[in-house]
A and B are shown apart, each in its own frame.
Chain A
Amino acid sequence: MTNLAIEIAGKKFQNPVMPASGTFGYGEVYTDFFSPNELGAVVCKTIKYESWEGNPTPRTCETSCGMLNAIGLQNVGREKFVKEKMPFLRQLKTNIIVSIAGSKIEEYGQLAARLDPVEGIDFLEVNISCPNVEAGSQVFGTNPDMAAAVTNAVKNNTHLPIIVKLTPNVTDITVIAKAVEAAGADAICAINTLLGMSIDINTGKPRIAKTKGGYSGPGIKPIAIRMVYEIAEAVKIPVIGVGGIMNWEDAVEFMMAGATAIQVGTATFVDPMTMPKIIKGLAEFLEKQEIDDIKKLIGTVKT
């Protein structure tokens, strides 16, 4: 038997596969297809301190090898999340990772403090990388001092381990990675979407209402692999790799680049069974390669 389990911040994950925030609702959306208990973790759609209605439509469009989105962090807010979404999440047997965002640094701290005593949360994922909201988020992820300040604010208000999710829309992602590590991040998640744009040539108008949006899907995979590789070289904390993963082969590639775990986002929209298929594919690959422990794949790229 091969061992698919990995560990982040002392917590065990039965396998390294989890959804990317914003693609799996609050864990309830895909239960007709498989049980979230099969996953290494459930990552919730980002919540903010106050509920938010998000951006105007159209919010998404298809592009070559993926899609653009500018949803704008539509979310139910902290109280409704705790009251209406946590009861379902709490009874799951896998790790629960709650993604959080704020418009100001203090708001991240306040939200972390509110969620800290809530039973059933295993990690906070700090989203400092959403490209689609005006007041902040990505701006925190593009400046090392701000990224560190947000990490600090969350860390000082919770006992939970925290994962900081980084934006690829920077010149050197290792500078940000080192800054959040120094500020107390327990893990790094990379990458969020790449800022992109698409125009309908018949109308001359942008194809999404916010003009620009985050590009996701298989088109971004080589960039994500490169960034995961760079971050894993630069920091000691675990990296969760995300960006364009469509199948188990992609997952292996991310782990070889240095990822301890991986997230699947856009691929689930195309095939809801992507994540269970990846878990199965990873187990079969290890068996075939006679590798007894998936941790032995991490960072094994021969450069």
Chain B
Amino acid sequence: MLIEKARVAYNYNVSPGIYKIIFDAPKISKSAQPGQFVMIKCEGKQTFLRRPLSIAGTKSENLTINLVIKVVGIGTKWLAESTFGDTLDLLGPLGHGYTLTNLAGKKILLVAGGIGMASMIFLAEELSRHRKQDLKVNILFGAKTLELDDGNCFYASIKNLFPSSYREKITTTTEDGSYGHKGLVTDILPSIIEKKEINQIFACGPKAMLKKVAEISQAHNVPCQVCLEKRMACGVGACYSCVCRVKGHNIRVCKNGPVFEAKEVDWS
């Protein structure tokens, strides 16, 4: 991990409240792995602590990292307002990402809930670079809605965040039925696992979703890795703010995670 002054190369409003920001960050981009995150110093008037954000992809050829963020508070609002040429203070890459060993020949399902898609986009990119391993990758994406105020659907702009080779492999659910299946990702997860004979799951999203994904994957005897989100202060393992229960102990999400084996997490 290191501190890098990174220049904003691109900031694009993907859909209401969702932004894709590309940073020139040669050092972080070199070592970042899917599931890892950065802590960004937000210089807004009211912010004090850094904000943890999943890395949503890297480009080795131009040494950039991508973030896909959702505006939820004063820190992310400030970040969303950054523009081309701004220099931001990034700390990263942090944490322990997805374990991608022994995947050859696997039928993989990526489950993304809402802005949990950020780390899944990076993971999809990484898996698409593993073509030789004969992977079958499917994506299950869930959102509250995909409808704009004017009634138009913004599914296409979300879909385009994923690598082109997997865009036709996305199954979508929305809670309001505005696109895809009406309901939650976990409503159709069991049938997808069975139909596609899935034998490895990766999931990122709200805790309630991850808990259900963990239950379903365990019931189907499919290994599942989950990427957890927890409020953080330091992001590097010093403060013990972000703990979760894993194998009966309070473990730091920022240092020992954010990715864990779903069956090892105490979901209660």
Contacts and interface: CB of A to CB of B under 8 A. Distances in A.
- A and B interact: yes
Contacts of B46: 64
A270 B239 contact: no
A58 interface: yes
B48 to A, nearest CB: 5
B231 A58 contact: yes
A210 to B, nearest CB: 12
A71 B3 contact: no
B41 A270 contact: yes
Given A62-B47, A270-B50, A29 B237 contact: yes
B49 A53 contact: no
Interface stretch (A19-27, A179-187, A228-236): A19-27
Contact of B238 (A59, A67, A269): A269
A32 B234 CA distance: 14
A58 B236 CA distance: 17
B242 A57 contact: yes
Contacts of B234: 23, 29, 268-269
Given A53-B250, A74-B250, A272 B231 contact: no
Interface residues of B, number: 26
A173 to B, nearest CB: 25
A266 B241 CA distance: 12
A24 B238 contact: yes
B239 A23 contact: yes
Contacts of B158: none
Interface residues of A, number: 33
A30 interface: yes
A201 to B, nearest CB: 13
Interface in B148-182: none
B3 A272 contact: yes
A57 B237 contact: no
Interface string B118-136: 0000000000000000000
A148 to B, nearest CB: 30
A5 interface: no
Contact of A54 (B237, B243, B244): B243
Given A62-B49, A74-B250, A217-B48, A269 B231 contact: no
Nearest to A217: B48
Chain B binding surface SS class? loop
A57 B243 contact: yes
A71 B48 contact: no
B240 A67 contact: no
A53 B249 contact: yes
A62 B76 CA distance: 14
A69 B239 contact: yes
Interface in A241-290: 266, 268-273
A270 B242 contact: no
Interface in A24-76: 24-25, 29-30, 32-33, 45, 53-54, 57-67, 69, 71, 74
A210 B239 CA distance: 16
A66 to B, nearest CB: 6
Interface in B221-268: 230-231, 233-244, 249-250
A53 B248 CA distance: 10
Given A30-B236, A32-B2, A71 B241 contact: yes
A71 B239 CA distance: 8
Contacts of A63: 48
Contacts of B238: 23-25, 29-30, 268-269
A269 B233 contact: yes
B49 A269 contact: yes
A268 B242 CA distance: 17
B1 interface: yes
Given A67-B48, A67-B49, A74-B250, A61 B231 contact: yes
A95 B234 CA distance: 24
Given A67-B49, A269-B49, A270-B48, A57 B231 contact: yes
B91 interface: yes
A269 B52 CA distance: 12
Contact of B233 (A65, A67, A272, A273): A67
13 contacts: A25-B238, A29-B236, A29-B238, A54-B243, A60-B233, A61-B231, A62-B48, A63-B48, A67-B48, A71-B240, A74-B243, A268-B234, A272-B3
Given A29-B237, A57-B244, A71-B241, 7 more contacts: A32-B1, A59-B231, A60-B231, A67-B49, A69-B233, A217-B48, A268-B234
Interface of A: 22-25, 29-30, 32-33, 45, 53-54, 57-67, 69, 71, 74, 217, 266, 268-273
